[in-house]
Amino acid sequence: KITIDRAQRIRKFLENPSKIISLETLLGEDEDNISLEFIEDPKVALPVALAFENIFKEDLEKTLKSLTPREEKIIKMRFGLAEDGKEHTLQEIADEMGLSKTRIQQIVKRVLARLRKKES
C-alpha cells in the first residue's frame, strides 16, 4: 500500500528525471568508487548503534526492575514495552488491571516523576 506522501515523492521524481542518477555513477576521479557503495542498508545496524541499543536495553531493564510488579506492568503496557509491543491506552490498562483510568494515570505520573527525580 502506497501512502499519499510516497506517491507525491514518486511523482516529483518522475517529473524531474534530471535529479535521478544511476547507482553506478562514478564519484570523483577514482573509478573504483560508485554511488552504490555509499548507500546505507537500513536493515544493517551500525556497530555504534548496536552498542547504544544494548546499553539502553540494560538501563531500561534496571529501571523497570526498580518498580513494583504492578508499576512495571503498567509502564510496559503504556509505552509499548510489553510482549505485544502495543502502546495501550489508559483505559485498556485500567480494564486489564481492574483499576480506574484515573488511578492508572496517577500511577504513570508518579512513576515517571520518581524516575525523573532519580536521574537528576
Residue 43 lies in a domain: no
Residue 60 lies in a domain: no
* List of the chain residues with pLDDT < 70: 1-2, 12-50, 120
CATH number where 78 lies? 1.10.10.10
83 lies in which domain range?
A: 67-119
Which residue(s) pair with 34 in the sheet? Answer: 26
Which residue(s) pair with 26 in the sheet? Answer: 34
pLDDT at 61: 84
Confirm if 35 and 27 have CB atoms less than 8 A apart: yes
Residue 81 lies in a domain: yes
For the chain, the domain total comes to: 2
pLDDT at 92: 97
pLDDT at 94: 97
- DSSP annotation of 99 reads S
Residue 82 lies in a domain: yes
pLDDT at 57: 79
Residues 31 and 72 in one domain: no
Closest CA to 73 of 118, 112, 108: 108
